[in-house]
Amino acid sequence: MTTLDRRPAGGYGMTRPEPESLADLLERVLDKGVVIAGDIRVDLLEIELLTIRIRLLLVSVDKATEMGIDWWTRDPMLSASAGDNQEELERLRRRVEELEGKSEGEATGE
């Protein structure tokens, strides 16, 4: 069995540190954070028709909180307790039943 000798391409004796696994790489990215930004612009005869601005921040929840980004704690759709959602669901069910009852009464002429 032969083994390959790993030598740097530049030949200066410096090697690039390689992550041990995908999990290590992902941990580093989430710990440090990655920002991806871009703009898409559609023009027709020098008239701007559409502009899309994309800003993506990829970090761990801990890092985002450390940076002051915690919108998910205040968003009612994400942070509401299960009891709050159940109450809303029951209210909507009662309203649908009420509306269906009215529409059935109109259909029968009552």
55 and 27 together in one domain: yes
Can you tell me the distance from the alpha carbon of 52 to that of 71, in angstroms, rounded to the nearest whole number?
22
107: alpha, beta or left? (left if phi > 0; alpha if psi -120 to 50): alpha
Within-domain flag for 35: yes
pLDDT tens track for 76-99? 777 655 556 778 888 999 999 999
**Residue 24: pLDDT over 70:** yes
Mean pLDDT of 10-37: 75
**pLDDT tier, 100 (very low <50, low <70, confident <90, very high otherwise):** confident
Q: Based on the domain organization, do 40 and 65 belong to the same domain?
A: yes
Q: How confident is the model at residue 52 (pLDDT cuts 50, 70, 90)?
A: very high
Cα 84 to its chain centre, rounded Å, is 24
Count of helix runs (H) and strand runs (E) in the chain: 4, 2
- Pairwise pLDDT comparison (12 vs 61), residue with the higher score: 61
Query: Which residues have CB under 8 Å from 60's CB, separation 6+?
Result: 30, 31
Q: Are residues 36 and 63 in the same domain?
A: yes
The answer to whether residue 50 sits within a structural domain is: yes
Domain that residue 86 falls in = 80-110
Q: Quickly state the pLDDT bin for 41 (edges 50, 70, 90).
A: very high
Task: Determine the pLDDT at residue 30.
Answer: 80
Q: Within this chain, do residues 27 and 51 fall inside the same structural domain, yes or no?
A: yes
What is the pLDDT of the chain when averaged over all its residues? 77
